[in-house]
Copies of this chain bind each other. A is one copy, B any other.
Amino acid sequence: MVKSDYSIGILQYIPFFYVIWSDDLLSASEISVVKKTIEQDSALEPDEKEQLSLWLDRENPPADEELKHWKHTITNSNVKLIESDTYPLASLSQRLGNLYCDSCDFNDHLKHIEINLGIQPNHYNHLFDVEVIHHKTSDFYNAKVLDAILKGPHAKAVDEFRGFLNQPIFHWDVRRNKEDFRGKVLEQVQLLGTNGYGAMAYDSEYGGIGNMPAYGAIFEHLMFVDGSLAVKFGVQFGLFGGSIQKLGTKKHHDQYLANTGKAKLLGCFAMTETGHGSNVRGIKTTATYHKKSDSIIIHTPGQNDNKEYIGNALHSTMASVFAQLIVDGKNEGVHAILVPVRDKNHTVLEGITIEDNGYKLGLNGVDNGKIWFNQVKVPRENLLDKYGEIRDDGSYFSAIKNPNKRFFTMLGTLVGGRICVAKGAVGGAKMALSIAVKHALNRRQFNDSVKVQEDLIMDYPTHQLRLTPAIASAYVYHVTLEEMMKRYSDNSQPDKRKIETQVAGLKSIITWFANDTIQECREACGGKGYLLENRIANLKGDVDIFTTFEGDNNVLLQLAAKGVLSDFKAEFNSAGFTSVLKLLRSQLADKLSTINPIYSNKVDKEHLYNPKFHKHAFNYRTRRLTYTLAMRIRSYIKKGIPSYQAFLKVQTHLLALGKAYSVELAYTIFNEFCASVTDEKHKVLLEKLGTLYALHHIYNDTGWYLEQGYISGTKSKAIRQRVERLSTELRPHIEVLVDGFGIPEHCMTAPIAK
């Protein structure tokens, strides 16, 4: 037995106090956890309690000399710190105590502090000069449980599909020549089709199981194989097949859908034109009904009115062509028509010109092309006529009288594709994050001369900060998109307009998130991330265009923002608008009443981690942006500025609202989802991810919140510190978190991820 300057009671608390004070990060509520524990610790003498309490005064912290003395006490003990202990710090304290005392009981209260304060070895192991038994990762949580939570109802379909992907044909390789690459991807698509995966969203009579959400889940998995495969698969079964399924009627289904699902009939989705990317309503291709021959003439009027970037254009025998339908001299708006483009020998049909789009930044396994039509005649039946038909007497009929509404109804049925794009983007981000994390758990760089080994780069705070919030976001967005897919596929809710608005915004923020994340992962892997063999480079090139296709993000965000405005039935120029503004103002006033100096200065952990705070902050931002936007537009219109110009003037404001609305929506969905998780242990972990997501996003907009006086400077700093601390706190679990994404091992081919 050795002698110590401190009594045994106090001694056991020393490691804790050293950790607490060397970082000076504890909030009032955390201090009170420690205080309470000390008060309830019956093993302590009254004077010990008093001494320990004195050391908990934030106004009057222990002197530096005291801290140094604590440190020497720990260092000189030669006690080891074992990261794999269930309570590493409490166990260190115990062993420290045992040095000075032969038969002391272990102070169980310390475990309570360790758990409640979320103190992790990587918070403090570097503070001690004792030997640290390092562990790259903790097994406190279980990746399989997380994976099961994320798979949700699709567990069976997903597990089967993961097994199916374990075939040589799906093995990833560098493919530079586009013809070879496209050939390979075509084979893969055909194999998937033959095995029923293409038709999953179709009804059983067409080879499917009528399960769009399960289709979405397997679609995401294709990103783990290859981006080109995912996109070509989506074009064939989702876009081409989807247009037949959603815009066509039984005659089309019976004739085409089964073969489409099997990839026996290859088709493309010819909507975008060179001159008209985002403005679908303005496309120039015409489909003119010719009564005499009872046929429709498809025509490209000008050189720049060709269809462009059409995926599957070089392999297809049929195209679903979007064109202005003209019946009896009247333009009935955009409709889709099935147009055969090649014969059985794969020769392009007369009147049709198809050109290869050539090499692209990514997705070179997808055959994108341009298509021109020169007076191409197809039978009347080829019109996909669910929402607008040409009757036997040659007249046009639609149950939806308003052409505007008809157009948006037709486009709205295709929203599933947009959800899939966002799902694919999340898949790409998950893959890049898994690779970057596994690399960072192997790679060492620089070191403390005292230590034998260089540090793992995953142990750098900057590295934790660049990867961990992104992992949290990937969880949040996965859950959000699953929910959107569920709502979209719910046939009891036929009006999909609200979902369309929501998906427009979510697709934008999620595809941007994926691009930023993949870029961050590339840089986090240094030169290794630049080599194609490590996969991140291809993900980067492939996911890049996700911000543009299926709707340019900037255009979609404006759509989302306008949806928010019209949710309030804001009819500009009318009396109704004023009452809407009044409503908004009173809602804001309610919210503002809570934003007193006490609220805007509240920096306590309890408060900052409380979902109520996050929801309030997100909701305040959305409402406030809506209100000020509506006010600005009204003011312009009152001055006589036309509505189109007024909207142009508030474009950046619209983008901000679109983003704010989407972030709030994602957080809300995730939060509700967490409440439904039954595994209590992993629920806590998911909630922590939600908190990180929320604080990270609030901090991203901290300038705005500060401008509004919603938070104070002190609170802004506290939020930043909490984001950093949560990222560090999750460090021991980071491998479990990425393993929870469930990416099959046979897809993780990157050498640096081994």
- Residues of B with C-beta under 8 A to A269: none
Are the CB atoms of B174 and A359 closer together than 8 Å? Answer: yes
Name the interface residues of A339-387: CB closer than 8 Å to any CB of B: 357-362
A398 at the interface (CB under 8 A from B): no
Nearest residue, chain B, Cβ from A512: B523
Chain B contacts for A450, CB-based, 8 A: 642, 644
Interface footprint category on A = 35 or more
A308 to B713: give the CA distance in the assembly, Å.
46
In the complex the two chains form, is A554's CB within 8 Å of B640's CB?
no
Give the contact stretch, choosing among A101-109, A645-653, A665-673, A686-694.
A645-653
A587 to chain B, nearest CB (A): 21
Q: CB-CB < 8 A to A461: which residues of B?
A: 648-649, 651-652
Per a CB cutoff under 8 Å, which of B22, B177, B465, B706 touches A639?
A: B22
**Which of A24, A527, A636: most chain B CB closer than 10 A?**
A527
Inter-chain contact A445/B706, CB cutoff 8 Å: no
A515 to chain B, nearest CB (A): 8
Residue of A68, A449, A526, A717 with highest tally of chain B CB at under 10 A: A526
Contacts of A362 in B (CB 8 A): 530
User: A460 an interface residue at 8 Å Cβ cutoff?
Assistant: yes
Whether A118 sits at the interface, judged by CB under 8 Å, is no
- Contact in complex: A532, B64 (CB < 8 Å): no
A726 at the B interface (CB under 8 A): no
Are A462 and B71 neighbours in the complex by a CB distance under 8 Å? no
Q: Which of A275-283, A318-326, A488-496, A605-613 contacts B (4 or more CB under 8 A)?
A: A275-283
A462 to B189, CA, bound (A): 39
Q: Report B-chain residues with C-beta under 8 Å of the C-beta of A648.
A: 126, 460-461
**Minimum Cβ distance to chain B for residue A506 (Å):** 18
Cross-chain contact B639 with A68 (CB below 8 angstroms): yes
Complex CA gap A589/B347 in Å reads 79
Partner-contacting stretch, out of A152-160, A258-266, A543-551: A543-551
Task: List 13 A–B pairs whose Cβ atoms lie within 8 Å, in order of A's numbering.
Answer: A68-B638, A126-B648, A358-B532, A359-B531, A360-B537, A450-B642, A460-B648, A461-B652, A526-B552, A530-B544, A540-B544, A706-B706, A707-B717
A-B contacts besides A519-B519, A706-B707, 20 pairs, CB < 8 Å: A22-B636, A23-B649, A126-B645, A278-B445, A279-B454, A308-B527, A358-B532, A361-B537, A361-B540, A361-B541, A448-B645, A461-B652, A465-B652, A515-B519, A523-B552, A526-B548, A529-B548, A530-B544, A540-B544, A699-B703
4 closest Cβ contacts across the A-B interface? A361-B537, A706-B706, A707-B713, A702-B703
